[in-house]
Structures are given as C-alpha cells and as structure tokens.
Amino acid sequence: MRHVHSLACESYPVTSRADDDPARTQGGPPSGSTGEQGRAEVGGAAPYSETERDSMHETSAGTWPAEPTLTPDPAGEAEPATPEAPATRSQRRDAERGGRRRRRSAGGSILRETAIILVSALVLSWLIKTLLVQAFFIPSSSMHDTLVEDDRIMVSKLTPGPFDLERGDIIVFKDPGGWLEGQKPVEATGWRGAMNDLFTFVGLYPQDAGEHLVKRVIGLPGDRVACAGPGEPVTVNGVELDEPYLAAGAIPSQMAFDVTVPPDSLWVMGDNRQRSSDSRLHQGDPGGGAIPMDNVVGKAFVLVWPIDRATVLHNPGDTFKDVPDPS
C-alpha cells in the first residue's frame, strides 16, 4: 500500500504540471513512462492511447489550456457614461427659456387678438349704427297693435336718404321739443335692462333712447291732412283713408283738424289714436304739429324681438294708393 501511494504521487505532475519535464515544455513526449505505469498500477487500466497522448502533447505546450475568448456584440456594447458637456446644458437652458418665451408670446397673442376683435366689433357697430341700421325698443302703447311695449325694432338709416319716405311708413324720430314732456319712458329691468345697457354701450341703442318717438307717416310735405271730427275718417288730399293698422276698437281721430304739411316736414300719427301724443296734439307748436325731416332717424323695417312676434314691417300701400300728389 505504501508503494502504491508513492506511484500515485509521482504520477500527479504528469496530469497537472508540464514545467517539471523539460521535454514537455518544448512540445515533445515525456522523458519517461512513469505516467503510463502509474495509470496502470493505480487503476489497472490500459496505457494511454495515441490520441490521448497527442491531446496531452497539445495541452502541454503552455502552462494551462487556453480559455475560449468571447467577442462582444457591437450592437449591445454599452457606451461608457460621460458627464454632460457644458454646451449641452446651455442649449437645454436656452430651450427652456425659449419655451417660456413662446408660452408668454402665445398668451400675449391671444390677448392681442381678443382686443383687436373687440375693438373691431365696436368700430363696426359704430359704423353700422351711424350709416346703416339702429335698434330701438318700444316704451309705450301708442302704436298698438302693430307694436307693443318692449318690442325691438330695427331702423334703416338709408330712409330718408338714398331712399324716400312714403305715406304709411313707420319712422323713429327725435323729439322736436315738448312731445315727451312729463312722460318718462318705461325702463326695462333685470336681464332686459342689462341687454339694453349692453346694446347702448356698443351702439345698437342710442344714448338718448328716451328722447325718440315712433309714429306712422300720414302726410308728406305739401299734403293736406284733415278729419271732420270724432268717428270721421282721416283724409289726405281729399281721399278718405281705410286704415286696417289701427288698434282694435280705435277710431281714426277723436278730434277735428285740417292742416297742410310744411316743406321738409311730416305729419305723423300713432296707430292707437286714443293713446297717442302725435301731430294732432301739437298743432300749436312751431311747425303746426309737423316734425322736421331732419329729426327723422330712419324707417322701421323689421320687428326682431320677441321671437314669436318677429316680422317684417310692411307699408300698407293699399291705404294710400289712391292719394294724389299735392296740388
């Protein structure tokens, strides 16, 4: 047993170290057959085969067999972390400042556009009010049943002007003086009052809306307008008028009159004759009750509010179709 152990110890360098045998370090065969004898004596196996010896010769050329080398995948190779360059940080700060400037610029742009829209709307409103149309509300019952309290009408400023007024037209005119004395127009309250204030602010209502009246044109300059008395028809240039627009139950006039309309003036009356302070009641005023043409704001052409009463205000042409021009 002691001899066997000695042989096993002597065979250990054969399989583990090659630098003890000068012949192995040069790639040659081992100098003795100790390894084969040790293998035979220890395990009783057959000597090494030629293939095994060749393999041992190849591995004994170096100290240890070379380990396989793995080539890293270029695509998956991680780049070493490098600190952010100062230029990159500066660019990021510039980008952040630029973003804030763009946001401020966008907010300022919205405010500018809103201001432009509001100013443009006010200017357009003023132009429309001055040159084309203007809105008015009806404060009294003098034009029943054609117009009632709180109706909203649109008035064309092109008549008179490019277009001539005709008998039967409904007009809005400024008080020639004393027609509204002692009368205070009904002021709308609540949301209607707010709407009135808004329309007045933007120019859709006149600043002095309480100083305007709405009546129907009965006589043009030079016309002779007359009524023989209560219950009698009104005549223009000798022709009796059939007036379907009068308020229900109203008579043509509760008083007699006979006037000739002065030049550049109009004779006007309300449709609700018993409730209208019109030309008949101001015959003692300058102009004999007729209103100056210059006081006319325009011709009412449409009733716009309330919606269920909205309608075009037509001229009752048939009423005056047989009236001749003044002689």
Asked if residue 219 belongs to a domain, the reply is: yes
Q: With 50 as the cut, is the pLDDT of residue 310 above it?
A: yes
Are residues 274 and 153 both part of a single domain?
yes
Quickly state the pLDDT bin for 124 (edges 50, 70, 90): confident
Are residues 44 and 174 both part of a single domain?
no
DSSP state of 201: H
Are residues 38 and 161 both part of a single domain?
no
As a dihedral over the C-alpha atoms of residue 33, residue 39, residue 45, residue 51, rounded to 10 degrees, the angle is -60
Are residues 136 and 252 both part of a single domain?
yes
Q: With 50 as the cut, is the pLDDT of residue 17 above it?
A: no
Asked if residue 265 belongs to a domain, the reply is: yes
Q: pLDDT: is 89 or 36 the higher one?
A: 89
226 phi, psi to nearest 5 deg: -150, 160
Pairing of strands 291-292, 265-269: antiparallel
Average pLDDT over the chain reads: 76
Asked if residue 105 belongs to a domain, the reply is: no
Are residues 18 and 151 both part of a single domain?
no
Are residues 171 and 299 both part of a single domain?
yes
Are residues 189 and 287 both part of a single domain?
yes
* pLDDT-above-90 percentage for the chain: 45
Asked if residue 100 belongs to a domain, the reply is: no
Asked if residue 86 belongs to a domain, the reply is: no
Are residues 173 and 266 both part of a single domain?
yes
Q: With 70 as the cut, is the pLDDT of residue 155 above it?
A: yes
> What confidence tens digit (pLDDT) does each residue in 210-246 have?
789 999 999 999 999 999 999 899 999 999 999 999 9
Indicate the residue among 15, 41, 59 that finishes a domain: 59
Indicate the residue among 14, 38, 59 that finishes a domain: 59
Q: Please give the Cα distance from 311 to 245 (Å, whole number).
A: 15
What are the helix (H) ranges across the chain?
2-16, 22-25, 34-43, 50-59, 86-127, 190-202, 317-320
- Looking at residue 21, its amino acid is D
Q: With 50 as the cut, is the pLDDT of residue 281 above it?
A: yes
The pLDDT value given to residue 8: 38
> What confidence tens digit (pLDDT) does each residue in 50-77 have?
554 554 444 444 444 444 444 444 444 4
Asked if residue 45 belongs to a domain, the reply is: yes
Are residues 31 and 154 both part of a single domain?
no
Are residues 179 and 312 both part of a single domain?
yes
Asked if residue 280 belongs to a domain, the reply is: yes
Are residues 139 and 45 both part of a single domain?
no
The pLDDT value given to residue 87: 54
The catalytically annotated residue of 142, 253, 265, 276 is 142
The pLDDT value given to residue 111: 85
Quickly state the pLDDT bin for 308 (edges 50, 70, 90): very high
184 is catalytic: no
Mean pLDDT of all residues in 41-51? 47
Answering whether pTM is above 0.85, one says: no
Asked if residue 23 belongs to a domain, the reply is: yes
The pLDDT value given to residue 28: 44
Sign for the CA dihedral angle at 18, 23, 26, 28 comes to negative
- The total of structural domains in the chain comes to 2
Indicate the residue among 41, 59, 77 that finishes a domain: 59
Residues in the chain: 327
Q: With 90 as the cut, is the pLDDT of residue 293 above it?
A: yes
The pLDDT value given to residue 167: 97
142 is catalytic: yes
Are residues 135 and 54 both part of a single domain?
no
Q: Which range has the top average pLDDT, 26-35, 125-134, 224-233?
A: 224-233
User: Residues 155, 172: contact at Cβ < 8 Å?
Assistant: yes
As a dihedral over the C-alpha atoms of residue 21, residue 23, residue 26, residue 28, rounded to 10 degrees, the angle is -130
Range of the domain at 241: 128-320
The pLDDT value given to residue 101: 64
Q: In CATH, what number is assigned to the domain containing residue 207? A: 2.10.109.10
The catalytically annotated residue of 215, 253, 279, 299 is 215
